Amino acid sequence: MGMLRGRTALVTGAGRGIGRAIACRLAGDGALVAVHYGTDEESAAETVRLVTDAGGEAFPVRAPLGAPDDVSTLY
């Protein structure tokens, strides 16, 4: 794999469920994964741990997406 090496992926809702699976898959393909969460920091940390334990790279990002001016919180 590694087809996404050098790329960064933002996965919204990556703390659990489908978002977590997508984050793990993208990391497995070589992407640096930004693990987005709204309120559940513990679940996001678990996703980051799963990615890094498998040899990938990830970091958590808290942002209230869907709110006015939400994109600016990602900078």
Rounded (to 5) percent helix, strand, coil in the chain? 40, 20, 40
Q: What average pLDDT does the segment 53-59 reach? A: 97
pLDDT tens per residue, range 15-42: 999 999 999 999 999 999 999 998 999 9
Is the distance from CB of 27 to CB of 47 less than 8 angstroms?
no
37 bridge partner residues: 62
| Confidence (pLDDT) at 74 | 66
Is 2 among the domain residues?
no
| Confidence (pLDDT) at 56 | 97
Domain count, the chain: 1
Is the distance from CB of 58 to CB of 47 less than 8 angstroms?
yes
Residue-range definition of the domain harbouring residue 56: 8-64
Q: What average pLDDT does the segment 46-63 reach? A: 96
Is 73 among the domain residues?
no
Is the distance from CB of 36 to CB of 11 less than 8 angstroms?
yes
What is the percent of the chain where pLDDT is above 70? 95
